[in-house]
Chain A
Amino acid sequence: MTSPVATIPTRATEQGPLADLAQETLALTRRLFLQLVRRPSTLIAGILQPLIWLLLFGALFSNAPEGLLPGGMGYGRFLGAGVIVFTAFSGALNAGLPLMFDREFGFLNRLLVAPLRSRRSIVFASVIYITSLSLLQSLAIIGTSALIGYGWPSAAGLALVMLTLLLLVFAFTALSLGLAFALPGHIELIAVIFVANLPLLFASTALAPLSFMPIWLSWLASLNPLTFAIEPIRAAYAGGPLDLGGVMLEAPYGAVSGYQCLSVLFLLAVGLFLLISPLLNRKLA
């Protein structure tokens, strides 16, 4: 019964930790995209909703007196930046959902039994997936708003748009992944996403400039991370030379430059990743 022939499995030559890491991360990312393609309703809703906003809100204020908005911008063009940011933001906020389902339905255990090089690849895969998805959706909106005549940023402007979105998406993906491990189930996670979504939108400069708001709201809006993403993108859409050193937000507490907006987003992203790091270490230990 105890056969002396040890059956050492005939593994192919080892391929090194980095290649392993790439392989496992890619496979996990592929799974998320397969899920998306087979259940396209999320994707479709994620693109349709902002487009409808763009069209309806744009139409709603299309007859507003000219010169009302800073820089004499038309409302559609003003709104474009807000909708792009909001789309990326909602996408990122949903990043934790697939992970939460995997926790709840035991699929995570299947991943944890495998000899992953690093269990962080589970997190990397979510970040890669959500980032590419959000950027894709934003591009769809950038394209559409150009088509309906709301303008188009310069090449440098487009780079600024992508950089800003990237920072924003990282920050809220981190938050959502943290919540996916901290909350007890998907019901709670969906509730948090739902509750966070609209107030963050309305208490930002997505729909109206600070100058339209009562003072308390303008305080809230100029502390809201969404605003720090919206203003640089709006600047990229304004036409004319891009000056990141120039003032982009006249906040009640003082003027905020483009660099400062980006720094806030950068610090937020880094801060949130540091914040969830111990939680991830514990849950994936």
Chain B
Amino acid sequence: MPVIELQQIEKSYGPVQALKGLSLTVPRGCLYGLLGPNGAGKTTTIRILATLLEPDAGSVKVAGLDALREPRAVRCELGYVAQEVAIDKILTGREMLQLQGDLYHLRPAERDARIADLIDRLGMESWLDRRCGTYSGGMRRRLDLASGLLHKPQLLVLDEPTVGLDIESRSVIWELLRELRLQGTTVLLSSHYLEEVEALADRMAIIDDGRVIAEGTPDQLKQRLGGDRVTLRVREFSNEVEAEQVRQLLEPVDGVRQVVVNRAQGFSLNLVVDGEQVLSRLREQLDAAQLPVFALAQSRPSLDDVYLQATGRTLMDAELAVVGQRDAKQERKSSMR
């Protein structure tokens, strides 16, 4: 039985439709990556799982429980590490964790033993009795992870757990997540870092614009694409007309499967090709047409190519397109209880 089953989830904030029929199945014991650019709907999905939001439509099952009918039972089974860490700066780490333990109704002895264990695993002994207000971002995140794990949930959900963190905190968190997985805890993490999902996840879904656009193991996703990637720039900054010319020139070349113009990257061209020999054929063709070559490189398909293939832009460009467009303050205000 899967630990998470989301079916056809829809959710709007006023006129903004954040989720447009998102479905997701996470098997038990799996470390599952939710990859998508800013604004894709990751946080909305996770808040629905954590019973903080109700979807407008669709069904939500966590650990076999209907989260809309039995939210309290779901809360017992789930640990949640939010994207934005809300802590009480005036409490010490230990006091925060004790509060958390009491809210999950752990017996004090059990609670304190658990705190000691997690603090050890997260390497925060020397910080435990200092006020949270003095913590670095990495330390806060570790404290939050400890809070989420205190009651030994069978499912841990993390929303972009390593954004903006120092390298050491990041590796501590990665290590802990891997360890949890080995012990059988199901972990769902969202990220807009390809490397993170690639490094950690057994399975993954790519989500874009409120939908899942690809699902499987990272290898499956790459293999499904097939072929190799070639990036071509005839000059550093080309234009639409020229890029279109080149596209038409190269499309018929033997071994070229597909040519996509990447508008966001100075009208460079992304090709999907079969085999090694194609590169020399491309050069010949460009020479014959007396076109220069600024850059030409071949590579195995990456997760970014999976995203590019599905959406026509790279993850990075999707990310940049949203930067500065979202009003975090406004969003927080409108989602206040």
Contacts and interface: CB of A to CB of B under 8 A. Distances in A.
A283 B104 CA distance: 21
A1 B29 contact: yes
A109 B80 CA distance: 11
A24 B152 contact: no
Contact of B332 (A35, A106, A284): A106
A38 B90 contact: yes
B184 A35 contact: no
Interface stretch (A51-59, A113-121, A244-252): A113-121
B185 A111 contact: no
A28 B101 CA distance: 11
Interface in A88-138: 103-117
B99 interface: yes
A38 B87 CA distance: 15
A283 B337 contact: yes
- Bin the interface of chain B by size: 35 or more
Nearest to A3: B29
Interface in A29-56: 30-31, 34-35, 38-39
B154 A115 contact: no
B72 interface: yes
A111 B102 CA distance: 11
B160 to A, nearest CB: 15
Interface stretch (B105-113, B162-170, B319-327): B105-113
B184 A5 contact: yes
B103 interface: yes
B50 interface: yes
B21 interface: no
Contact of A115 (B104, B147, B337): B104
A1 to B, nearest CB: 5
Interface in B304-333: 332-333
Given A3-B184, A8-B154, A9-B152, A110 B86 contact: yes
Contacts, number: 112
B72 A115 contact: yes
B154 A116 contact: no
A10 interface: yes
A165 B199 CA distance: 62
B232 to A, nearest CB: 38
Given A103-B337, A112-B52, A113-B80, A39 B90 contact: yes
Interface string B70-88: 0011011010101010111
Given A2-B27, A2-B29, A27-B99, A35 B105 contact: no
A117 B72 CA distance: 8
B102 A23 contact: yes
A113 B50 contact: yes
A195 interface: no
A41 to B, nearest CB: 12
A26 interface: yes
Nearest to A9: B152
Contact of B52 (A6, A39, A113, A181): A113
B184 A31 contact: no
Nearest to A109: B52
Nearest to A31: B99
A1 B217 CA distance: 11
A1 B202 contact: yes
A37 to B, nearest CB: 9
B104 A34 contact: no
A126 B28 CA distance: 40
B110 to A, nearest CB: 5
Given A24-B103, A26-B102, A27-B103, A106 B82 contact: yes
A184 interface: yes
Nearest to A8: B154
Nearest to B98: A27
Interface string B17-32: 0000000000111100
B16 interface: no
A30 B106 CA distance: 16
B103 A7 contact: no
B200 interface: no
A114 B103 contact: yes
Nearest to B91: A34
B336 interface: yes
B153 interface: yes
Contacts of B99: 27-28, 30-31
Nearest to A98: B88
B95 A34 contact: yes
A116 B75 CA distance: 9
A111 B313 CA distance: 39
22 contacts: A1-B27, A1-B29, A1-B202, A3-B28, A3-B29, A8-B154, A9-B152, A10-B152, A11-B151, A12-B106, A19-B105, A24-B105, A31-B95, A34-B90, A106-B86, A110-B100, A112-B52, A113-B50, A113-B78, A114-B103, A116-B103, A184-B336
Given A6-B28, A7-B29, 8 more contacts: A1-B29, A1-B30, A2-B28, A2-B30, A9-B151, A110-B86, A114-B103, A184-B336
